[in-house]
Amino acid sequence: MTDRSGQVWDELVELMGEIERDWGREARAMPTADERAEARIFALNSLQHALEFWSQADPARPWFYRWFSPTKKLLGDNPDAIYYGSVIDPERDYVIRGNLAGAVYTSFTVEVGTAGGGMSKALGATLNDDEIKVGSDGSYELHLSQNPQPDNWLALTPESGSVTTRHYFEWDRPAATDPNMHVPLSIEPTVDPGPPPIPDDEACALGLQRVITFLRSVTVDWPTGPRDIPLDWVSSEPNRFTNPPLDEGNRAIGYAAADNAYRSTRYELGPDEALEIRGRFPNCRFANVVLNNRFIQTPPYRQRRVSLNRRQTVLEPDGSFRMILAHRDPGVPNWLDTAGAPTGTVFWRYLLPDEQPTQLETQVLSVDDL
């Protein structure tokens, strides 16, 4: 007798071995034990998320799961934000209820192509708090359906598979480090499906298959680079930023935010080198800079300053800023701690900017000369 769930369990075990072998490919460019260990930690975080989010996903009885935490990072986590996600069935109608809870920005995005654990292929409908009728107490109610609704409508299409939420905070400390942080949020179908059945062999197999699908999509099926697609805001030159015109990009990038203008470059620094970044914040709803590794994960941020939002940034007398990436404390304001990583990614978010950001100017300096 062969259990279907047992077969899929074995497939998950086989995938773990395939992932391990994949790290050794020359195209992955991970020749050292520490680099491969970083990859395994990323795979563990991805498996953790897949098990939490996908193993018992039920679009008939949806639930908002928190995407990221200081110990679960993937797909470009942000220390200043709380994210949630839920699976949905585009043939059903739903109601989302929640509260802004003091966030400087709240949004909801329908992900396309995520049914069954697949990677988001593009952004569907989006709503931010400027586009939602919000009560005086910060409460709101959204309607999800294929049929148009008069207010607070998040449109579904046959390709809709999940909903992602974003709640940004500009605090003195990263909001994601607060263990008591809670954003009121719920999602319910408009037609009650009744209580679920006890999971059987087939249900277990389907859950494991969704875990496999997601885990594979962010590991062995992932491009050789974390964003190996042409993006004008990603610099091809280390330690330098591009400054493309504002547009309505991002919608073709799964799990991106439609309202963000991004800037990104790879930093490369020797043991005693620092990267100086000078610029100005544009007029926008929220802005921050975050350090990432090659897997778009933040370094440990509970004890290290690996990001800076506007509130945390010390400005120059003329309103500009000077930030310093370095492996050790240079003794000047706005230090971004690389945690000793000789290379990584510097990732900017400008949320709902109403003016073109200025060019970010950079130079590599000696830490001792700062």
Per-residue confidence (pLDDT) for residue 222, from 0 to 100: 84
Q: What is the pLDDT of residue 26?
A: 87
Alpha-carbon dihedral of residues 286, 341, 73, 9, nearest 10 degrees?
160
Write the pLDDT tens digit of every residue in 254-301: 898 999 999 999 999 999 999 999 999 999 999 999 999 999 999 999
The per-residue pLDDT for 226 is 43
pLDDT on residue 2: 76
Residue by residue, pLDDT tens for the chain (370 residues) are 679 999 999 999 999 999 999 998 888 889 999 999 999 999 999 999 999 999 999 999 999 999 999 999 999 999 999 999 999 999 999 999 999 999 999 999 999 999 999 999 999 999 999 999 999 999 999 999 999 999 999 999 999 999 999 999 999 999 999 999 999 999 999 999 999 999 999 999 999 999 999 999 999 998 754 445 568 999 999 999 999 999 866 888 889 899 999 999 999 999 999 999 999 999 999 999 999 999 999 999 999 999 999 999 999 999 999 999 999 999 999 999 999 999 999 999 999 999 999 999 999 999 999 8
pLDDT given for residue 223 in this prediction: 73
Which alpha helices (H) appear in the chain, and where do they start and end? Answer: 4-23, 33-54, 201-217
Query: What is the reported pLDDT for 227?
Result: 45
In the sheet that 139-145 helps form, which strands lie side by side, from edge to edge? 153-155, 139-145, 94-99, 185-189
Domains of the chain: 4-217 (2.60.120), 260-369 (2.60.120.1600)
CB count within 10 Å of CB 287 equals: 25
Q: pTM for the full model?
A: 0.95
Tell me which residue of 150, 134, 144, 145 sits closest to 184, measured CA to CA. 134
Token pair of 85 as six digits:
């996600």
